[in-house]
């Protein structure tokens, strides 16, 4: 018979779960009175609790950000750049402990968590080197017309669960570097590493400049409708992005949306299937396919289709799936039960429609949200797996005969985040890639991004851009200064 914990034991256990996690509001660490469980997706069980802010605490965070805005925008660009550099160094110095925490809440292998934190640091430094200069539009005897850029005010940032640190760093640095103050909300599935980083950054930024608050969907709704927030940067699903946009309309907030994708990779007939398969596999399955710009569909020329399918299946078969804290694991669990159940539904639809499973397809029993890397051939173009963003480790490979047909099928989607074309002739591929209806078209690569290259989606995959000068300007208001001389 199992002994039941005493009240004191229960209280002690709950205190341990809550340890070291707090919201950052106006320079203070605020635990509050409400908490929610955070699960480890490798076990499906709670391993910690995060503090949940109420409406009054959000109002306090927004008010503190607005108070701090005047002095922060007056801070020199050089000083803001130095603060961003200090932030990046803190991420680097604490990468080991942060990576382990990130893996516990997100699921990805700990080496990939460390890479994510390192990328967040390096991208931050890169963005803070970009100069947004005034633009002289006219200089004549009659007039001088300049275009200047000014910070917007308070930026609300809502981040997702698949890459919570890297996908927070982009909008966070863009907002702070351009002179805005911030209220940042991490996903309730993965709030812990973000909260820990906020505590580490407490001494880097003046009180109110950076506020980090945790909570559920209701908190996001409060932020998008809040009259004290001037811009929302949201990264997440298309469906939620539409709700965010509608909520922001009430106050005409500025808006950046980085939404989902259904990225196609077109593999032409001159490609060596064996050589390209590992690259395609990694671009599709890294983080167990939970990447907005991962390859979601492959269109392979009929002459190489069979061999490419075989090579991709071999990559899937030899991949090791398990807890991200175990050595040698390449693919961790699906991050949450809702997404796991969605993938089960897509797999069932795939088999019902006659898709041929080349690898994977057998979901293991036991704890955790593990889903094997699955490669599917001969799939119905109208199946869920092809039409939806699966956001998981199940990949359809489709056959084409004619390049124009492949391009038409690749573009026949409401998504438009990114895509790629693969060929032994890069210029041939580039001509085709230029006709993909996406925000980013790659040739012989996929998922390659940079702090100095803008990233975002076409169609329903988003509005605006992150990174580069174009992305930074999305956090600023352009103002024309027109001077009539004499």
- Asked whether the beta carbons of 277 and 373 are under 8 A apart, the reply is no
Tokens of 234: 């949201």
Residue 261 and residue 296 in contact, taking contact as beta carbons nearer than 8 Å: yes
Report the alpha-carbon distance of residue 486 to residue 482 in Å, rounded: 13
| Active site (annotated) includes residue 258 | yes
Instruction: Please give the structure tokens belonging to residue 343.
Output: 């993938």
Catalytic residue among 116, 258, 389, 403: 258
Indicate if 292 belongs to the active site.
yes
In the β-sheet with 440-443, what is the strand arrangement from edge to edge?
356-359, 374-377, 394-400, 295-301, 263-267, 418-422, 440-443
Give the distance between the most distant pair of CA atoms in the chain.
Answer: 94
Burial of 406 (0-12, 13-18, 19+ CB in 10 A): buried
- Is 482 in a helix, a strand, or coil? strand
Do 121 and 350 touch, CB atoms closer than 8 A?
Answer: no
Sign of CA dihedral 448, 433, 395, 169: positive
Q: Are strands 154-158 and 231-235 parallel, antiparallel or unpaired?
A: parallel
Do 65 and 209 meet the contact criterion of CB atoms below 8 Å apart?
yes
CA distances from 149 to 143, 231, 477, 481 (A): 20, 15, 6, 11
Quote the crossing angle between the two packed helices 305-318 and 273-285, to the nearest 10°. Answer: 50
Residue environment code for 442-457, b if the CB has 16+ CB neighbours within 10 A, otherwise e: bbbebbebebeebbbb
DSSP string, 34-102: -EEEEEETTTTEEEEEEE---HHHHHHHHHHHHHHHHHHHHS-HHHHHHHHHHHHHHHHHTHHHHHHHH
User: Measured in whole angstroms, how far is the alpha carbon of residue 484 from the centre of its chain?
Assistant: 46
Contact (CB, 8 A) for 159 and 116 = no
The active-site residue, picked from 193, 248, 292, 309, is 292
Catalytically active residues are 258, 292
């Amino acid at each position: 018979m199992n002994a039941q914990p005493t009240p004191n034991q229960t209280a002690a256990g709950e205190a341990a779960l809550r340890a070291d996690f707090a919201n950052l509001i106006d320079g203070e660490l605020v635990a509050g009175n409400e908490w929610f469980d955070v699960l480890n997706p490798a076990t499906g069980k709670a391993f910690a609790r995060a503090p949940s802010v109420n409406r009054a605490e959000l109002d306090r965070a927004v008010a503190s950000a607005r108070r701090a805005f005047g002095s922060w925008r007056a801070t020199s660009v050089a000083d803001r750049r130095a603060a961003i550099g200090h932030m990046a160094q803190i991420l680097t110095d604490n990468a080991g402990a942060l990576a382990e925490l990130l893996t516990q809440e997100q699921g990805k292998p700990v080496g990939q968590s460390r890479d994510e934190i390192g990328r967040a640091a390096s991208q931050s430094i890169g963005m803070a080197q970009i100069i947004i200069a005034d633009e002289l539009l006219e200089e004549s005897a009659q007039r001088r017309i300049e275009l200047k850029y000014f910070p917007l005010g308070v930026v609300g940032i809502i981040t997702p669960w698949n890459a919570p640190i890297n996908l927070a760093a982009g909008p966070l640095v863009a907002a702070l570097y351009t002179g805005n103050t911030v209220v940042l909300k991490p996903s309730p599935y993965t709030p812990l590493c973000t909260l820990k980083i906020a505590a580490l950054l407490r001494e880097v930024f003046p009180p109110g400049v950076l506020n980090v608050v945790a909570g559920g969907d209701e908190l996001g709704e409060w932020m998008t409708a809040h009259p004290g927030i001037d811009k929302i940067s949201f990264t997440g699903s298309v469906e939620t992005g539409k709700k965010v946009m509608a909520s922001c309309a009430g106050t005409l907030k500025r808006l950046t949306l980085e939404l989902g994708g259904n990225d196609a990779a077109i593999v032409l007939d001159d490609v060596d299937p064996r050589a390209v398969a590992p690259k395609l596999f990694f671009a599709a399955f890294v983080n167990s396919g939970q990447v907005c710009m991962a390859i979601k569909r492959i269109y392979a020329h009929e002459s190489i289709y069979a061999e490419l399918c075989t090579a991709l299946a071999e990559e899937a078969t030899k991949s090791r799936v398990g807890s991200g804290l175990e050595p040698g694991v390449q693919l961790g669990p699906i991050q949450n039960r809702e997404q796991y159940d969605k993938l089960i539904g897509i797999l069932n639809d795939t088999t019902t429609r006659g898709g041929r499973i080349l690898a994977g397809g057998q979901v293991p029993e036991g704890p955790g949200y593990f889903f094997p890397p699955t490669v599917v051939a001969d799939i119905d173009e109208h199946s869920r797996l092809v039409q939806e963003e699966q956001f998981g480790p199940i990949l359809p490979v489709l056959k084409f005969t004619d390049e124009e047909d492949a391009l038409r099928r690749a573009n026949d989607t409401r998504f438009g985040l990114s895509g790629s074309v693969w060929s032994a002739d890069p210029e041939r591929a580039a001509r085709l890639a230029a006709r993909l209806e996406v925000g980013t078209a790659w040739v012989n690569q996929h998922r390659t991004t940079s702090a100095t290259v803008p990233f975002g989606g076409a169609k329903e995959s988003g509005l605006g851009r992150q990174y580069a000068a174009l992305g930074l300007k999305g956090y600023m208001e352009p103002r024309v200064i027109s001077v009539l001389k004499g």
